[in-house]
Structure 1
Amino acid sequence: MNTGSTAPKVLIVGAGPTGLTLGINLLRAGVPCRVIDKLPERQPHSRALGLHARTLEIFDAMGVLEAVRAEARPLARIRVHGEKGPLLDLEFGDLTSPFPELLCCPQPRLEAVLEQRYRRLGGELWRGAELLEASQDGSGVTAVVRRDGQETVLGTQLLVGADGAHSRVRDLLGLPFEGHDYREHFLLADVDWTPPDLADDAFHGFMLAEGNLAAIPMPEGWRLVISENGDPDDEDGEPRLEAFQERLRAALGEQVPVPERARWMSRFTIQRRLVSHYRRNRILLAGDACHVQSPLGAQGMNTGIGDAFNLAWKLVLFCRGYGGGKLLDSYQQERRPVAEDMLRGVDALSRASLVRARALRGARDSLIKLAGGRPQMTRRLVRRASQLDVHYRHSPLVDAGPDAEMGWRHQGPLPGDRVPDAVLVSQRDGGERRVQALLRQPLHHLLVQLGEEPDHRSRVILHALLSRLPDEYLNELRVTVISRGDLELDPPRGAMARAVHLWRDEHGAFEAAFGDASRLWLMRPDGHLAYRAPLTDADYLFAYLERMLRGA
């Protein structure tokens, strides 16, 4: 048995989108890690396709969005069809995100992009490496890995299981993975096909008496997914293309040209499961190792990527000696409720789409059509699907400061909310800047909002705030001062000179999203609001930073 020559601070089991997202974000912050995967090479096929707006914001922060776009097809809407025609359009273009769309990117292509970014950052990936055992104590984790026929012992501070629904890490921890299997079975086919009457910028879902059909335009060809009627064929046998052809004719008419061959076909049964705990001391779980669900709504892969983005910055601070166990505890406290809510929503969607009784189908279609006529409702559905409404308002890591009872509670985001985007102008060079783009620096960002014409008191408070920030905080914090006009500020000295930026809210976009007074907004490295308070209550901010950035 060999002993690993180098000890990463974090060992990640699983080289899928969740594991690679975690690895990239650790390396961006300078924390060495290693990813291992049991499979000798990347799987050529996968059910996962859709990337929602919040995930695109995460990828922009990680520096991979343009590479992902090159491998994907943008979709502008989801179109739901009933037996008598279209029922509902959910438009992505109205989303308040810099990336208001759904990208259709097959998981193997996405993994290739993420792996390339991971390796360019210096990440080490072991393929064909199977985790056999893992044990932990107060100082770290010891993992036994079989690779190339040999067993290797790896020491690490933390281990994360991002190894899918059949997680070895979860099994080693003995954690329940409770839920149920759906009775329905589904067939999937990737086909070369050009349908004459389907928009190629939309995800199409058909709810028919014969069963469901999803038709999704891919970068090349289309993906078709159908529910099987009655008992499925022998599950060891190959799915039949004729089943897809019959469903297409039921949806589009007998004369529609149907695909004559498939590049890939598969059968699957959907599950709904959620792990009992996301963490046992120094071993954590993420992605499908925590939650599995129906593919309807394209939520699973996006939720796993969100898990990794939430977890990464906490592991970074922990490895640097900040936060202790309470910081790691917050991962489950924040992300498990997100998975619970996602599972409930997807479960309701799945059950509604699989209704068989004719009267119930009619009532369902009437309700969907009614919702389609209410723009406010459809916008809310799209935001929810796009995961822009995910929040951590009940997290112990977020703080409203002394403003909890003040009248401006409903102005701007609440602690735990995703920080809205706004286009601003750099006072230094006149170039446009985006609030969301600050996430490209994996740090906390303090946004100091000044009124349209800051008075003398505001300037004095700002100067005092900047003067009091300890240099050690500037390893984990950047400051952006936002005013309506140009602001004259004594040039910061030393480390502060590199940490402070002056931006103008030239078009009022920041004020529209955050309110119109002088305030402090602390954005976490995952883009969620950690703390907010009036500018005059900077002392409370320092108390919050003291808790977050001073030792374990």
Structure 2
Amino acid sequence: MLIVGAGPSGLTLGVSLRRQGIDCLILDRLETPSPYSRALGLHARTLEIFSALDVLAPIRKASRLLKGVSVYGDKGFLFDLDLTTLKAPFPWVLSCPQSQVEETLIQRYKALGGEMLRGVELLDFTQDGSRVTARIRQGAQVSTVESAILVGADGVGSTVREQLGIGYKGVDYKEHFLLADVPWKAPWREDSSHGFLQEAGLLVALPLPNGWRLIMATDEEPGEPVTLDPFEERLGSILGEVPALGTAHWLSQFTVQRRLAQNYRRNRAFLVGDAAHVQSPLGAQGMNTGIADAFNLGWKLGYYLKGYGDGRLLDSYEQERRPVAEKMLYGVDMLSRASLVKLPLLRRSRDSLLKMAGSRPGIATRLLRTASQLDVHYRNSPMVTSGPEAELGWRHQGPLPGDRLPDAAMRSVRTGHLHQLHDLLKKPVHHLLLQLSANPEHNEKLVLYAFSDRLGQDYRERAHLTVIASRHTHEEQIPQEGTTRIWQDHEGEFAAAFGEGPRLWLMRPDGHLGYRAPVGNADHLLGYLDAVLQRVNSE
């Protein structure tokens, strides 16, 4: 397995593959990782992914935790968003420099036995029905590397994408931006980001683990080296006095593009992250979307390279992730254009709408779930489905096929230990959740024993069984034979999110729902597993 690019997307993919035991080599043209902070915000869905990959703890330790978003206009405060209202295991944003994210992922990747070569450039590659052959250059030496699969995680100027001849259409914004990371002590909340939508132009202030990041829009063409003078002037107009920002850790200028690859896959070559999509940094969606790309693709490549699934499984990567990027690009584009509008009438209309949105909890909740990527779903994917009776009586109860599964507190019946449902994601397999009724009937017990036997024999590497008992069920009523994990709904969170049983829920390795049905559809579920996860070639 060959990955080109050691950014967050490529490294997330590498970790995902190594924890499945897939041999993996990551190449990067830089001799050493970039020391600059670059992307910052890690949203709630990304934190779930990092928890599954066992990298969240060190990243959280190196981060500043942000609980809110505050927005101001020319006449003062417009609205606040309270991130802690999110129904998620990690209802906040972590402000963590990309350099620290990469360092943590590199350590995890290497601890899992992953290989990495730096100072290496991909020249070109060819592919046939069984392999990809890549020519690489390290210094003056040119050599070839063969791999079953090639993934381009090599950024906006992706060599992999260009070699594949995949279009990367979009637009360039006319505005220019200045960036400064400074050791400043700002007069605002340090657990919130702050946006100023003013006549003078956009200014965004983001808390760093040490100091603040300031981003401002400017009409001036890039030319002279960036200094702190424009930031001090803009802040002076907001605060009424010119602050002393100290010595900047990093000064930069940039322009913004909005582009989307026409395809994410061509035969044995794939694209993830900025190689597939790029957008305005407002909303902090780019790095998070690339990480989610890699988490989606990782389990599918792992299954395929072990001989499970077929081309449909690999096709589903583009079918699921490209629409997500398309929607994200549209949303970020609207956010950027609204933030940068200059005409007074349009600005007044925008500010009125923002005030209204801030005063309506329902709108605020939808904004938060969209920004946090918790509402990303794959309902139109051909790889998810319901059983033939799944729509009878409980269509609006619980997640639909393709949705991210909600988390819930669970208690092990055997050990008494407390767990979270998302803890299952630490094992990169499908997890069949057999939800029992409050008083399990005979047919539920028969299904339990049948699945315990069949999954253990035929799907040991791909599907594990977890029995979910109602919190109202007495322990002596819970069948315990023939299964390895029996959890009980600890505080009713599972029933609140999924409805009452008896039901079948098949959680994919990326935490999305692959299949749902009443317990009576057990045979149909086994047919689904056969169709989606069957062995198609030898290891």
Q: Is the partner of 1:68 in helix, strand or coil?
A: helix
Which moves more between the two structures, 136-145 or 482-491? 482-491
2:494 maps to what in 1? 510
CA deviations 1:287-335 (Å, max 9, x no partner) are 0000000000000000000000000000011101122211111000000
The reply to whether residue 354 of structure 1 matches residue 344 of structure 2 is: no
**Cα distance between partner residues in 1 of 2:319 and 2:242:** 50
2:179 maps to what in 1? 188
Aligned residue runs from structure 1 range 166-315, under 5 A: 166-196=157-187, 198-228=188-218, 230-234=219-223, 237-253=224-240, 255=241, 257-315=243-301
Q: Taking every aligned residue pair, what percent have the same amino acid on both sides?
A: 54
Q: Is the partner of 1:175 in helix, strand or coil?
A: coil
Do the aligned residues in 1 keep the contact of 2:176 with 2:222 (CA within 8 Å)? Answer: no
The reply to whether residue 419 of structure 1 matches residue 405 of structure 2 is: yes
2:27 corresponds, among 30, 36, 39, to 36
Aligned residue runs from structure 1 range 25-64, under 5 A: 25-64=16-55
Shift of 1:151: 1.1
Report the TM-score when normalising by structure 2.
0.97
Do the aligned residues in 1 keep the contact of 2:232 with 2:242 (CA within 8 Å)? Answer: no
CA deviations 1:427-475 (Å, max 9, x no partner) are 1110111111100011100000001111223222322332333513011
**Cα distance between partner residues in 2 of 1:43 and 1:54:** 25
**Cα distance between partner residues in 1 of 2:246 and 2:469:** 61
The gaps in structure 1 that reach 5 residues or longer are 1-9
Do the aligned residues in 2 keep the contact of 1:173 with 1:280 (CA within 8 Å)? Answer: yes
Report the TM-score when normalising by structure 1.
0.95
Letter of the aligned partner of 1:543 in structure 2? G
**Cα distance between partner residues in 2 of 1:317 and 1:444:** 11
**Cα distance between partner residues in 2 of 1:372 and 1:503:** 39
**Cα distance between partner residues in 1 of 2:165 and 2:455:** 45
**Cα distance between partner residues in 2 of 1:267 and 1:248:** 18
Shift of 1:404: 4.7
The structure 1 segments of at least 4 consecutive aligned residues displaced by more than 4 Å after TM superposition are none
Aligned residue runs from structure 1 range 110-125, under 5 A: 110-125=101-116
**Cα distance between partner residues in 1 of 2:96 and 2:90:** 15
Letter of the aligned partner of 1:180 in structure 2? V
Q: Is the partner of 2:80 in helix, strand or coil?
A: strand
Do the aligned residues in 1 keep the contact of 2:480 with 2:486 (CA within 8 Å)? Answer: no
Do the aligned residues in 2 keep the contact of 1:449 with 1:482 (CA within 8 Å)? Answer: yes
1:20 maps to what in 2? 11
Q: Is the partner of 1:533 in helix, strand or coil?
A: strand
The gaps in structure 2 that reach 5 residues or longer are none
Do the aligned residues in 1 keep the contact of 2:233 with 2:242 (CA within 8 Å)? Answer: no
Q: Is the partner of 1:409 in helix, strand or coil?
A: coil
Measured on the aligned residues, the alpha-carbon RMSD in Å equals 1.2
**Cα distance between partner residues in 2 of 1:21 and 1:402:** 36
Letter of the aligned partner of 2:522 in structure 1? A
Shift of 1:506: 3.1
Shift of 1:256: 5.1
Do the aligned residues in 2 keep the contact of 1:248 with 1:258 (CA within 8 Å)? Answer: no
CA deviations 1:99-156 (Å, max 9, x no partner) are 1110000101110011011111111110001001110000010011111321121110
C-alpha spacing 1:524/1:267, structure 2 compared with 1 (3 Å): same
**Cα distance between partner residues in 2 of 1:80 and 1:537:** 50
Letter of the aligned partner of 2:203 in structure 1? L
**Cα distance between partner residues in 2 of 1:233 and 1:321:** 52
1:537 maps to what in 2? 521
Which moves more between the two structures, 400-409 or 419-428? 400-409
Do the aligned residues in 2 keep the contact of 1:417 with 1:528 (CA within 8 Å)? Answer: yes
1:401 corresponds, among 387, 391, 414, to 387
Which moves more between the two structures, 460-469 or 176-185? 460-469
